[in-house]
Structures are given as structure tokens and as C-alpha cells.
Amino acid sequence: MLAAIYRWESGFQMEEMVTPRLGPGEALIQVHSCGICASDIKFVHSLALARDANGHVLGHEFSGTVAEVGPDVASLAVGDKVAVEPVWACGSCYECRRARPQHCSRQRVLGFSRPGAYAQYVAAPAVSVYPLPAGLPLESAALAEPLACALHAVELSEAGPGDTAAVIGMGSLGLLMLQLFKMRGVAVAGLGTQPQRLQLARELGADEVIDVRSGDPVAKVRAWSGGRGVDVVIDAVGRAEIVAQAIRMGAVGATVVLFGIPDVDGAVAVPHKAFIGGERRLIGSNATHFLLPRALALLSLGRVQVAPLITHRYGLDRLGQAITSLERREGGAIKVLIQPSQGK
Ligand SMILES: [Zn+2]
Ligand SMILES: [Zn+2]
């Protein structure tokens, strides 16, 4: 099979690879669409910095068709259209036995610690492979994984009917989060820098959109919320100065969710007394487990729109170019899909 392999000397290149052989409990999936994630871009930068000489096949947000199942797999059949939860837990470590698989110490992630879906085929444990609801297009299903991550962050925030929320960062994840807030009866403001994305946020239901380049975003969010601040803030960018702003946007009792992953790790300061007096919460949200079926249901019911987020599609042979164009937001790129059946 062909795969787009990252090599730090030469970037991404298409190479012939052995099609994965199935281990116990695994299924082989022919990839239809795989979304480029901000974490792919960050991982590539880290591999380049480390001069990592191992070839890597990335890609974890994908859909496809079951091409082969192991003899011990009863839950899937060849030809099933599926989406895959790319993170799985060992089931036997201390955290797994406390029913906290998201903190598994032996967690494997497809596209990072195992070969991913920027390839014609990928092998995955059948327990993480979910058949699509009838009628859901494969292309939309490739966004089930990021939607599940967005759902986890929104659920952790505990925002409910009548609350107010601000989402900072109108990338694909921010645009999914604001739709999920609307579904929960939450009034939501979307903050970003790109006029096209802010316009899309408005079309997808944002009650307010704020261009952070035109004045102080904290003052604007506070003004929008009647001077109180908002009940929930999600940082979907991942920069320390934005976290500081997010904290200042929060009302008494606010929950601030850190979701965007920083390029460089560091500390963020919290106003000590305001957190005690206002019983504020600052929490992290990292990927997800077991939310993919619910994400697929939301897509199938049409409660969350993903088609307007998909702006570009490329073949495997153009993965390097696709990543660069997303990073530079060329041509209004929001969600860029790699489709191995395109191009070569
Ligand atoms: Zn992702
Ligand atoms: Zn574990």
C-alpha cells in the first residue's frame, strides 16, 4: 500500500509500505478521509526539532471501509463504513482499573504511537471501530473524532441552559464547540482573528462574534455579558496570553477549560483570591474516550454541521502541501481532508 511518511530530512513523501497485518481483535480499514489536526502540525515540528529519523505515518481523524477483519472479530464485517476512535487504553493499569481510561499509562494513539491514517490502509482494534449510522457520508464521519473531543470539552464545562460561554479560537474545533453550546441552550460568543471564520461562526449559530484584533477581547466579552463575564470560557488556541485573557473573561463561578495545546509548555498565573472568592474553576480537556458513538449520532441527526468546515481535499501525495496550506490558512482553510483515493 501507499502511505505518506514523514522524514525530517525530506518532509512528507509517498512510499510503498507493507499493508498492516492484523493482530488479535483487529480490523483493517481502507481510509476514505483523514482530517489534518493542529496536533499533527505540532507533532511534525517536534519531529523536525528532534531530527527524528524514524519515518512516521500520522493521521488520526478518519473514516473508511472495513477491508478485512481478524478471525476473532464478530462486531464488524468487510464492507462496513466506519469511523475510528484513535486512542485506546490498556484496560489493566492503575488508572484503567479506576475506570479512568483517559489517563491510561499505556495508552496507544493511532497516528502517533502507531501508524496512522495518512495511508491507504490502517489497522485498528475492532473495539474502537464504529459502523456509521445509515446515510452518514464518509466525508462527514471523518469529523466524528474532533467532534467527540469538542463534546468532551463542552461536557467538562458543565454549561447548561441559560448560561453564557465564550470560545476563543474559531478553528474547526472552536466552530464545533460553539454548535454544541447552542445545542445545550447556552448563549455563545466566538472569538477569532479571521473575518471568514467569524462569518461562518455567525452562520453556525454564534450569538456574538468578536474579532480579537479590533480592541480588547476581555472588555468586549464582559460588555456582551452585561458586565458580569461569562459562565464558561474555552481556550481552543493554546497560548499563555490567551489563557490569561480567558481567565479574565470568566464571571464569578466561571469554568475555564484549557483545550488548545501550547507549542511551548509553561505556567499560567491565576488571580489567587478571585479564584477562591468566586469559586472559579480552571480545568484541562484532553482528547476523549467512548464519545465517538455520540458524535456520530449528532452528525447523523444533523444537529452539528460539518460540511461548511471542510474547505479542502488533497490526495496522499500532497500531504506536505496540505499541512503547509492549513498552517498558513491559505485559501480560507479550516478543515483539510486527505483522501487517499485522490491523486495517485
Ligand atoms: Zn485531532
Ligand atoms: Zn491502562
Give the DSSP per-residue string, 124-172. Answer: EEGGGEEEPPTT--HHHHTTHHHHHHHHHHHHHHT--TT-EEEEE--SH
C-alpha of residue 148 to centroid of ligand 1, in Å: 10
Going from the Cα of 290 to the center of ligand 2, the distance in angstroms, rounded, reads 14
- Report the pLDDT value the prediction gives residue 53, as an integer from 0 to 100: 76
Average pLDDT over residues 41-48: 88
Q: Decide if pLDDT at 344 tops 60.
A: no
pLDDT digit string, tens, across residues 200-225: 999 999 999 999 999 999 999 999 99
CA-to-CA dists, residue 191 to 178, 220, 224, 243, 250, angstroms: 10, 10, 12, 13, 14
Q: What letter would DSSP give residue 21? A: P
Ligand 1 geometric centre to CA of 136 (Å): 20
* CATH value at residue 274: 3.40.50.720
Q: Give the per-residue pLDDT at 343.
A: 63
C-alpha span between 131 and 293 (Å, rounded): 9
Average pLDDT over residues 271-291: 93
Instruction: State the burial class of residue 227 (Cβ atoms within 10 Å of its Cβ: 0-12, 13-18, 19+).
Output: exposed
Q: With cut-offs at 50, 70 and 90, classify the pLDDT of residue 158.
A: very high
- Give me the domain span that covers residue 224: 148-284
Rounded to an integer, the average pLDDT of 238-265 is 95
Are 182 and 158 within one domain?
yes
My answer on whether 194 and 86 are in the same domain is no
Residue 107 has what pLDDT? Answer: 92
* Mean pLDDT calculated for residue range 36-54: 88
Environment of ion ligand 2 (residues, CB < 5 A): 89-90, 93, 96, 104
pLDDT tens digits for 97-131?
Answer: 999 999 999 999 999 989 999 999 999 999 999 99
Closest ligand to 96 CA? 2
- Distance (Å, rounded) from C-alpha 24 to C-alpha 301? 34
Same domain for 80 and 12: yes
Same domain assignment for residues 128 and 256 = no
Give the ligand whose atoms come closest to the C-alpha of residue 176.
Answer: 1
From ligand 2's centre to the CA of 243, what distance in Å?
30
Whole-prediction pTM: 0.96
Question: pLDDT tens across 303-318, in order?
Answer: 999 999 999 999 999 9
Same domain, 129 and 154: no
Residue 68 has pLDDT above 70, yes or no: yes
pLDDT in the model for residue 320: 94
Q: Which ligand is nearest to the CA of 100?
A: 2
Q: Give the pairing type, strands 187-192 and 164-168.
A: parallel
Share of the chain above pLDDT 70, in %: 99
Distance between CA atoms of 308 and 176, rounded to whole angstroms? 11
CB atoms within 10 A of CB 307: 11
Number of domains in the chain: 2
CA of residue 116 to ligand 2 center, whole Å: 21
In a domain, 73, yes or no: yes
The C-alpha cell of 254 is what?
466561571
Q: How far apart are the first and last CA of the chain?
A: 11
Looking at the CA of 88, name the nearest ligand.
2
Same domain, yes or no: 58 and 164: no
Cα atoms in the 13 Å half-sphere on the side-chain side of 7: 9
pLDDT at residue 263 in the model: 87
Residues 251 and 329 in one domain: no
In this structure, are 129 and 205 located in the same domain? no
pLDDT given for residue 264 in this prediction: 87
Predicted confidence (pLDDT) at residue 261 exceeds the cutoff of 80 = yes
In a domain, 179, yes or no: yes
Nearest alpha carbon to residue 176 among 198, 199, 146: 146
Looking at all shown ligands, the one closest to residue 107's CA atom is: 2
